[in-house]
Amino acid sequence: MKKMTLLAAVAIAIVFSSCRKDRTCTCTYTNSGSANANTQITTYTKVTKKAALLNCTSGTSYNQEKPYDVQTRTCSLK
């Protein structure tokens, strides 16, 4: 019985410790009127994958001051 309790405690500790890690978000910004692209790398420390993915992929594209020039943001989580 003691062995089962110990194994359960170890399993729970592993599950909770492996959920929160340092995650890297890489975003590439491109303008519709230009061939240039900019890259931005953001590191989230000790977050779950779900939380980092939510922060990383929010706001995928928006308009610039010029209505015909759209900047697109493409992000991926590593």
Per residue in 9-26, pLDDT tens? 766 666 555 578 899 999
Pair 30, 69: CB distance under 8 Å: no
Q: Tell whether the model's pLDDT for residue 57 goes beyond 70.
A: yes
74 Cβ neighbours under 8 A, 6+ residues apart: 27, 28, 30, 60
| Distance (Å, whole) CA 28 – CA 14 | 34
Centroid of chain to Cα 41? 10
Strand positions, DSSP E, 8-67: 21-31, 37-47, 61-63
Whether residue 64 has pLDDT greater than 60: no
* pLDDT the model gives residue 43: 92
Matching residue, tokens 């939380």: 51
Interval 58-63 mean pLDDT: 58
> What is the rounded average pLDDT of the residues 43-66?
77
Is residue 75's pLDDT more than 80? yes
pLDDT score at 37: 84
Work out the average pLDDT over 21-49. Answer: 86
